[in-house]
A and B are shown apart, each in its own frame.
Chain A
Amino acid sequence: MLATLWRDFKNGIIPENPLLRLMIGLCSALAVSTRAESALFMGIAATFVLFFSNIIISAIRKVTADQIRIPIFIVVIASFVTIVDLTMRAYFPVIYDRLGVWVPLIVVNCIILGRAEAFAYRHGILRSAADGMGMGVGYTGLLLIMGIFRETVGSGKMVFFDKTLFDLTRSIGFSPPRIVILFPGAFLTFGFIMALLNKWESRRRSK
């Protein structure tokens, strides 16, 4: 049992990483990864929704009529998104403002509806919870990698909760290419991460 749960959890991190492998939930990932801090909060928000909506959908799967399952999923997801929306606005208003429209848009984040349909609707509560957590961690992890890369290279410093962790522009006179933090940088970073992963996989396979 534990081994199954662990496998479901691990599945979302690399083998079926929602962003790199399933190519879903891209929009938010590219948009909020300009800074590591926003990436982390977006990741946590999506993981929360994914985890709890997977649990609820799995719990009600036996009483859900097949024809109207999509609206039901969406109502469940929308409720958790509303919780996140209001909580974040109350406790982290600065970050909420920076994430903007992306918080309400978690409701149409394909990862969540996709996992509800593909996994939670067919599996038990514990396994669905593990799957939701794994997908969430996979999503957050990649978001953090992109956020850290883009913030470090594109602005030359790292700011977390108004505390500057390091500032390369001051310490070694690094002049950051702004393009990395602007829109094209998101596409470029993601494209090269995918290319690197492909390269790594093909090399591993040929061994």
Chain B
Amino acid sequence: MGEAQRYFLLFIGAALVYNILLIRFIALCSFFGVSNRMETSIGMGLAVIFVMTMATSVSWVLWKYLLVPLGVGEFLYIPAFILIIAALVQFEEMVIRKTSPTLYSAMGIYLPLITTNCAVLAAATEAVKPGFLKLNIAYGFSLPEAVLYTIGVATGYTVAIIMFAAIRERIDIAPVPPSLKGYPLAFITAALMSLAFMGFAGLAGL
């Protein structure tokens, strides 16, 4: 398998075959919480791509050059990564507010929420311990692979949440049984979407 092809498969695998929301159930709180409207889900998706890529890069470097050489990786990675994420989110919020007011008004309110978005921690953990992932990669990711993998995961998140928001906007005005209205029906919709995404399983041997 060529190098380019492997990178491509890594991306597709992270984005579609192992879609973080619909196949792996990570970050569902935000999936149901902010998907009422199209605009908010686009904002959230952008914010996730941004924070996740930064967080993985920083935690990968920290893992490789600080935690592993010191021999404390196994039991310090959880607090270390979550603190990196919390700090990055704060930092990025400040930078965006200073540099781009338009972008800030588009995704500003979602940034603090991302600290507890499990997807970011999951991607950072998997970038250093890919054993959790069945992507036929027995060794740890290299930095470009980790970044590409994270962009794939974040793209999958954004695609799924935007699609879901589009469907929910239509369902809101549809006549449905009263006890199914709102969240129960949203879950059933998610089930159908998940069923569709299962169709990607086995794509290119992933």
Contacts and interface: CB of A to CB of B under 8 A. Distances in A.
Contact of A23 (B33, B78, B116, B190): B33
A150 to B, nearest CB: 13
Nearest to A25: B29
A27 B191 contact: no
B4 to A, nearest CB: 28
A78 B78 contact: yes
A199 B117 CA distance: 31
Interface string A16-45: 000000011111101100000000000000
Nearest to B115: A70
- Interface size for chain B: under 10, 10 to 19, 20 to 34, or 35 or more residues? 35 or more
A28 B191 CA distance: 16
Interface stretch (B100-108, B119-127, B138-146): B119-127
A100 B74 CA distance: 14
B80 to A, nearest CB: 9
Interface stretch (B6-14, B18-26, B43-51, B149-157): B18-26
A56 to B, nearest CB: 14
Contact of A110 (B29, B74, B183): B29
A191 B118 contact: no
A65 interface: no
A130 B33 CA distance: 27
B95 interface: no
Interface stretch (B62-70, B167-175, B192-200): B192-200
Interface in A42-83: 70-71, 74-75, 78-79, 81-82
B27 interface: yes
Contact of A198 (B25, B76, B179, B197): B179
B26 A190 contact: no
10 contacts: A23-B29, A30-B28, A74-B82, A74-B86, A75-B83, A79-B79, A86-B75, A101-B125, A104-B121, A198-B178
Interface of A: 23-28, 30-31, 70-71, 74-75, 78-79, 81-82, 85-86, 100-101, 104-105, 107-110, 113, 179, 182-188, 190-192, 194-196, 198-199, 202
